[in-house]
Amino acid sequence: MPKIQEEFFSMDENKEHLLVKKFLEEHSLVESNILSFNNFIDHRMQLICQEVNKNLVSEDVTIELGKIRVEKPDLIEADGSKHPLLPTEARLRNMTYSAPVYMEITVRAGNESEHSEVEIGRIPIMVKSKYCHLHNFTKEQLIEQNIDPADPGGYFIVNGNERVLVLLEDLAPNIPFIIEDAKEKATLRILSQRGAYRIPTTLSESAEGLMQLSFSRFKDIPAIPLIKALGIIKDADIAGLIGKENDSFVVNLYEYADIHTVNDAVTSIIEKTGMVGTKKEAVEKLRSRIDSYLLPHIGVSEDSRIEKAITLCKLIKQFSIVKEKKLITDKDHYANKRVKLSGDLFSDLFRVNLTILLRDIQHSLQRLSKKKKIYSLKTLAKSTLFTHRIESAIATGSWIGEKTGVTQNMDKTNYLAMLSKLQYVVSMLPTEQENFRARTLHPTHYGRFCPIETPEGTPIGLRKNLALLAKISTAVVLDEKSFVKTLEENGMKKIEIK
């Protein structure tokens, strides 16, 4: 039991009151969402810029992105004067509580280059977040600005309307699950996620006992030829990596024993998939798709192929063990689920809209450079469309990936109604389907979710609320190189594939 809980249960009423009061003074009840938004502005936006920069196609004009920064919300009046915008004024004047986003852009065309910091648009700011004017305001300062000191923040103001970003519950990415299909046949499934892309990969066994893999548009690709196509050719190496010998494994190795080279394995998969085009085109297309769509969380380059092959061997081993012991993964256990906070949702929205904006800038620059016209980078980069798309997503709740209802109107009937709305968690499962097990209470909900507060009717159990003092932990940023180095120093040996 955590120390704070031990203190709480061993205290009398007065001390309990003081402990809760101290906790509320130091922490907000909607702290997780606010911290997630702060993390998005401070770190994720820059990481997304670097990611988008790598994926930009270099043509006649090359664009490189530098540092990105966000200022605090401001307002430019009709007469050109500029002043800080507070949430109260945004509500009264039906305005969006948003801040300008500045980015360093370098444009290279031939031997010429131009570098400048430009405003690419505006982004709505969460009330009481680090970039809100009310951040660190005292109770007296809030009252002076006609703001309710009990208002926890954690919402957005778009066109004067207060909108709450609901928390989305979904299965954890990059973790293998063993599930049963309609015929009660075991299948291994992993949701491989890299950035905004999430590609389901399924490992199953055919009626003949052959291991098959399905991902992206590829269906039922034999697993052993795929491992060989990724670079592990020797059957002894594959057997050593899987490390579990049974009849099914022997059948799989024997079936594809005549594949002795990577080219043989690639040809075998091309014949299985029936890819069109010349042999050279088919080979390039297959390798490109394997790099991009097979377990993209490991990597999307040629350097990741051996690591992907090793991972496939480990997945086959796990599948074989689970199939024998019939250990099906409990998908409703909360260790197998993740809750998407404001930072995760904004990352998806920002990544897509930034990519669209940069493609538009690149297209305009190419058109102007061909006509040899003078252009202003600041004029080209400042996009009302970028601002409008982000504001529209928050105003309507229509999000990237065809998600709807991601934002809802703030309920300010009373303080508890407001807290309830800010701690609303919505499952990604469709409400019209039965999903009985997903709707029922699970022991892992204890201390995390309210067991009572859920709507009646079709969404029952799929629409939940966080427990009042629940706090959502965020992913730890891991430096892989130093982590692997530490493991090797402590005696772990790296697998060498010759």
**Secondary structure element (H or E) that encloses residue 68, with its range:** strand 61-70
**Secondary structure element (H or E) that encloses residue 346, with its range:** helix 342-370
HSE (side-chain half, CA atoms, 13 Å) at 321: 11
Q: Which of 32-41, 57-66, 313-322, 325-334 is the least confident region?
A: 57-66
3-state DSSP helix/strand/coil % of the chain, to nearest 5: 40, 20, 35
DSSP string, 248-311: HHHHHHHHTTT--SHHHHHHHHHHHHT--S-HHHHHHHHHHHHHHHSSTTT-SSGGGHHHHHHH
Fold classification of 177-325 is 3.90.1110
Cα distances from 71 to residues 158, 354, 367, 472, in angstroms, run 18, 18, 32, 27
Please state, rounded to an integer, the average pLDDT across all residues of the chain: 84
Q: Which of 143-152, 251-260, 473-482 is the least confident region?
A: 473-482
User: Over 90: is that where the pLDDT of 405 sits?
Assistant: no
Asked if 75 and 85 count as a contact pair (C-beta separation under 8 A), the reply is yes
Secondary structure class of 242 (helix, strand, coil): helix
Alpha-carbon span 482 to 479, nearest angstrom: 6
In 3D space, the residue among 356, 379, 384, 357 whose CA is nearest the CA of residue 368 turns out to be 379
Residue 23: band (very low, low, confident or very high) from pLDDT cuts 50, 70, 90 = low
* Span 176-211, pLDDT tens digits: 988 876 566 788 899 998 877 788 999 988 888 888
Percent of the chain predicted with pLDDT > 70: 91
User: Over 50: is that where the pLDDT of 164 sits?
Assistant: yes
Pairing state between β 167-171 and 424-427? parallel
**Domains 3-170+338-465 and 177-325 are alike in CATH topology:** no
Handedness of CA 225, 230, 236, 242 (dihedral sign): negative
Is the model more confident about 115 or about 160? 160
* Sheet with 337-340, side-by-side order of all strands: 337-340, 167-171, 424-427, 463-465
Percent of the chain predicted with pLDDT > 90: 24
Residue 18: band (very low, low, confident or very high) from pLDDT cuts 50, 70, 90 = confident
User: Over 90: is that where the pLDDT of 124 sits?
Assistant: yes
Residue 5: band (very low, low, confident or very high) from pLDDT cuts 50, 70, 90 = low
User: Over 70: is that where the pLDDT of 376 sits?
Assistant: no
Residue-level pLDDT at 159:
92
User: Over 50: is that where the pLDDT of 468 sits?
Assistant: yes
Average confidence (pLDDT) over 306-335:
86
Residue-level pLDDT at 407:
92
* Span 84-105, pLDDT tens digits: 999 999 999 999 999 999 988 8
Residue 274: band (very low, low, confident or very high) from pLDDT cuts 50, 70, 90 = confident
Alpha-carbon span 322 to 330, nearest angstrom: 13
Token pair for 441:
């209470």
Locate the domains of the chain by residue range.
3-170+338-465, 177-325
Token pair for 408:
């809802």
Residue-level pLDDT at 1:
46
- As separate numbers, helices (DSSP H) first and strands (DSSP E) second, the chain gives 18, 17
Residue-level pLDDT at 446:
92
Fold classification of 3-170+338-465 is Rna Polymerase Beta Subunit; Chain: C,domain 2 (3.90.1100)
